[in-house]
Every structure is written in C-alpha cells, then in structure tokens.
Structure 1
Amino acid sequence: MNEFQVSNGIFFPPFQPNLEIDTDYYIEHRTNSYLHQTSLLFYQFQSKEKEQIPVIPDGCVDILFCCQSENSYATIYGSVYHEQPITIRKNCEYFGVRIPPAYTIEGLKPSMKEIFNRNYPLAETVPLMTFIEELFVKEHDFQGKVKLFMDYFGPIIKPNYTSKSLIGHGLNHIYTKYGQTSIQELAEETGYSTRYLRKKFNDNIGISPKLLSDIIRFQFALRLLKNKYAIEDVIFESGYYDQPHIIKEFKKFGSITPQQFINTFNCK
C-alpha cells in the first residue's frame, strides 16, 4: 500500500446551528484533533417546547443521551444528506458526542458506514447501554458526563485510519482543503483511480469523497458566515463559483439561503 504524508493544517469543529438557537442553552467541549478533524465534540443543551430540531449534514456520527430521570434513552445518528428534523422530548436535558468519520466504535452493529442517514437506539448497538444511560441521568455536571463517556466509550472509540492509509490521507486531504477539492485531484495525488477511491470511501465510511467534500465546504461556509464574513468573501474563501452556486448548495444541504442563515442566526 502507498504511504502518504499528512500536511499541516487546521480544521474547525462541525456545526449544528439549530442546536444552539432552538434550545434554552447550549455548551460544548472539544478534544484534540486527529487527521485535522476535531477528535470528539461534546455538547449539552436543554430542549424547549419544540419536539423536533432540524439538523444539517456534517459528515459525523452523533450519540445523543436524553438525561431525563424517567424514561431516559440514547440514540446514535448518522450524518444526514440534507436538512431533516430529529425528534426530541420537550424541556429535557440532552448530552451529545459528535464523532468524525476518521473514527470507529469497536463492536458497533450496524457499522459506522451503515449509520449514515439513519438512526438507531444505542441500546441495540452497544452492550450494557441501559446501565450506562442511568449513569448519565445521575451525573448532573457537564464535565462529569464527558468523563463518564470517556470512561465507558473511550476504549472503544478509536482512529480507524492512520495518516499513511489511503482513507486517512483522503480524509486529511479533504479537511485541510476545507472541502475545496475534487475526486480527480485526490486521484492524481494518490495514484488511484476515481472509481477505486469512490468504492473505498463508500465501503469504509458510507459516503463518497465528492459528497463529503461538498458537505465540508458547506460547513466551512457556515462557520465563515457565523463569524460575520460578508457573503462575497464567503463565496471566495469557500471556493464557490458565484452567488447562484452558493445559494444552490445551501438550499441542497440546509434548505436555506446564505442571507436567510444570516438573518435567522443573527450573523450581521
């Protein structure tokens, strides 16, 4: 197998804007990075009266715990392909963990790639889950929940691809370029055909290199807008051709235009 070198680069954490504005409060904690992705993103929020919250594509897998004293539960969610709602309980505290595609959960059935665009009760995928759910209900401190998660899940959540592997190099290439790349460029860099790369990504991650690149570029553009970049600058920095192009991509992934995002999320 070819060996690949990892270039230096910085990546931003994946972003779910509605979790921040459609909840009573939202906090998060990030761990160190691996392959220029945030290794794990921990977050906590209190739901409002809404029973659904829209989520957008981010290429990650989320584990979400409902920490209600009665009828607690946990669900594992794969990244969606376009905006769609997840069902939550009203006025409930939730604790979540976002896991990027370079990682795997050992023993998880279905596999990480099979979770994309789907969700499953965590109790059906991880042994002793009912016991662990009860521990999250009893632990009220956010950092305490982070430690609890790492105590039980840390040993089985591991990097699935080394920087010298084809998939690891491909992920690094996509993330360090903020999604502004093509499968043809990746093929030229690695020496493998586009067909082979597409098959390897679909078989191992459950998503094609092109779709993952488009999602990462969309996420990058969202971050720039959140940081109050002008739309014209976001188009340039994100590598979109023009305003119709970025509007088309935003509607495809988020059912919203860049200007609507600015207005909705107070990015002025």
Structure 2
Amino acid sequence: MIYRPLQPPKLQSHLQNDYYHYQEYAPQPVLQSTVACYWSSTFQVSSTTLPHTSAYRIIPDGCIDIIFDLDAISVTQGAFVSSWMSTYEVFYPKESMNFFGIRMYIQSVQAIVGYPIADLQGQILLEELWGHSASTFWEQVIGATDTAMRINIIEQYLQQALYTYDIHPRPAHPLLAHSLQLMYAYNGQIDLATLAQQVHYSERTVRRIFQQEFGIRPKEILDIIRFQSILQMMYRYPQYSLGELAISGGYYDQSHFIHHFQRYYGLSPGQLSV
C-alpha cells in the first residue's frame, strides 16, 4: 500500500498551538494495508482562547474513520463511524474536545465494521453496528492509560476482526481490490477506460460495482486520490511551484489544478500558509 492521505494539520502546521494538537500514529506492518493511520485531535477551549480559535477543516481522503470521543460518558455518545467524505468541512470549536480515530482504507472497512459501506451515511453510532460489543471495546479504548496502550488494544481487535473475515469472508466483488490498487499506484491519474481494461471488466460494470458496493462513483475516488497525491507532493517538496504541482498531478493547466484543489480543500494552494 503506497497511498498515505493527509489532513490539514500536517500541511498547515501553524494551526497547531497551545490549545490545539493533532498527531498521527503509524499502524504496525501487518495492518498497513488496512489502516492508513491512527490519530488524536485535542482542543482545549476556554473563555480566553475562544476568541482566538481558527477555522479548522476536514478534507476528503478516501478513507472511513472509527472515532472515539475520549470525554464522552457512554458508548452511545462516544464512538461512531464517520462515513465517506466527498467535500471538505469547516468548523469552529466552541468547547474542549478530545478525539482518537482509526483511519481505515475503504476496501477494508466492511471487514472491520461488518456493515456495507454503501449504507454508511453521515455518522453511525458504533453501538448500532456492533451492539453490546461496542460498549466493551469503547470502555477498553477509553480506559487506556496512554496512546501506546490504546493503539495496542485497537490493533488486537482489528487483527481479530480481519482473522474472522478471512475465515468467513463477506461478499465483495473481486474487481474492487484490484481497481483500488491500480488507482493508488497511478496516484489517481488513470482514466476509467484504462482501469476497466486492466481489471478485465467493462466500464459499465466497474461503475455499477463501485456504486453498488461503495455507493461512490469510481471517478470520484480517482479525483480524491489524485488530490491527496498532490498534498503529499506539497508536504514532501514545499519548494514546488504551482505549475510543477499541476504538471505532476496530470492537470492540463494551472487554473484547472487550482479549481480542483479548492473543491476538496476549500482553499487555494497559496492560502495554506495563511
């Protein structure tokens, strides 16, 4: 797996300060094809910091997250699955918040949550998907004394879920994994006709299966993977000009690149340092 999506705090480091902290943690190698990362996000908001809070955004990354509210008093309020995002969201924190998340690759989600991805809409309570076992899992995650212990608890569960999945696989069309591998390998720069040819299905079938299994058009997934590949280039090579980024991303001109970038980030590339 070569696809490693980014979220704004990694690119806009100036957003992190005394009252906001975001951190990502890599999964162990055996889970690197399932989990993009674990992450923590903490806001310490008070009457003195509130006037200075900035706009924070979440951007599409082609993944689906299980999120734990570490300050919640019950699993009903404190654990949920956040579904696929097709555009950015902006929020202004009004109170202190403390979250921990599991960012999962879309092809792995059904094996973990046991629920069809196409049916996940908005935020779904983990309790609705797992019943009583969600409460047990949440209590263990919340009760961890540090991040390393929390990740260890989560990874034990994920491996158990995947082991069960390998024994009793849930129905999934074989073209999905192959198609996504190609999408990642090409950084989203592969047209549907070429993709269909390489997975040995018709374009119509590829569209139908993606819509049926994921509830998402393959073109939308390709666009988000391409957008995220640009973010990786910006992160690794901050000296690149907009023209160089546009060429690397396969855009036919700079204005097309900027328009595509704003669609998913809500800012132009030049505004990330603001």
TM value normalised by structure 1: 0.81
Please report how far the alpha carbon of residue 57 of structure 1 lies from its aligned counterpart in structure 2 after TM superposition.
Answer: 1.0
The answer (yes or no) to whether the contact 2:111–2:161 under 8 Å persists in 1 is: yes
Q: CA deviation at 1:53?
A: 4.3
Give the RMSD, CA atoms, in angstroms.
Answer: 3.1
Instruction: Give, in angstroms, the shift of residue 40 of structure 1.
Output: 3.9
Quote how far apart the aligned CAs of 1:81 are.
0.7
Name 2:65's counterpart in structure 1: 62
Q: 1:64 to 1:35 in 2, by over 3 A?
A: closer
Q: Does 2:122 correspond to 1:147?
A: no
Contact 1:65 1:133 in 2 (8 A): yes
Q: CA 1:37–1:236 in structure 2 vs 1: closer, same or farther (change >3 Å)?
A: farther
Amino acid across the alignment from 2:134:
M
Shift of 1:202: 1.3
For the pair 1:119 / 2:123, whether they are aligned, the reply is yes
Query: Equivalents in 1 of 2:125, 2:97: separation in Å?
Result: 17
Question: Structure 1 residue 215 and structure 2 residue 224: aligned?
Answer: yes
The gaps in structure 1 that reach 5 residues or longer are 1-9
Aligned residues: 251
Give the match for residue 25 of structure 2. 29
Greater fraction strand: 1
Once the two structures are superposed, the pairs formed by residues 8-87 of structure 1 within 5 Å of their partners are: 11-18=2-9, 21=15, 24-31=20-27, 39-49=35-45, 53-68=56-71, 70=73, 73-85=78-90
Asked if residue 254 in structure 1 is aligned to residue 265 in structure 2, the reply is yes
User: Once the two structures are superposed, what CA deviation does each residue of 1:42-77 show, in whole Å capped at 9, x if it has no partner?
Assistant: 111212436984211111110111111645601211
Q: Which residue number corresponds to residue 4 of structure 1?
A: none
1:245 paired residue number: 256
SS in 2 for 1:241: coil
1:64–1:76 Cα contact (<8 Å) kept: yes
SS of alignment partner, residue 190 of structure 2: coil
Cα distance in 2 for residues equivalent to 1:47 and 1:88? 7
Q: Aligned partners of 1:177 and 1:243: how far apart in 2? A: 20
Name the CA shift for 1:240/1:51 in 2 (closer, same or farther; >3 Å). Answer: closer
User: What is the percentage of aligned positions where both structures have the same residue?
Assistant: 24
Superposed displacement of residue 204, structure 1: 1.7
Aligned partners of 1:74 and 1:121 also within 8 Å: yes
| Gap change, CA 1:131 and 1:34, over 3 Å in 2 | closer
SS of structure 2 residue aligned to 1:82: coil
For 2:189, the equivalent position in structure 1 comes to 180
The offset of 1:26, in angstroms, is 2.1
2:189 and 2:226 in contact (8 A); partners too? yes
Q: Are the counterparts in 2 of residues 78 and 119 from structure 1 also a CA contact under 8 Å?
A: yes
Over 3 Å counting, the alpha-carbon distance change for 1:52 and 1:103 in structure 2 is: farther
Deviation sequence 1:82-107 (CA, Å, 0-9, x none): 11247978323211100001213448
SS of equivalent to 1:94:
strand
CA 1:47–1:80: 2 relative to 1, 3 Å: same
Gap change, CA 1:13 and 1:151, over 3 Å in 2: same
The answer to whether the 8 A contact 1:11-1:178 is kept is no
Does the C-alpha gap of structure 1 residues 113 and 66 become closer, same or farther in structure 2, counting only changes over 3 Å?
same
Q: Which runs of 5+ in 2 are unaligned?
A: 46-52
* 1:195 counterpart = 2:191: no
How far did 1:147 drift?
A: 1.0
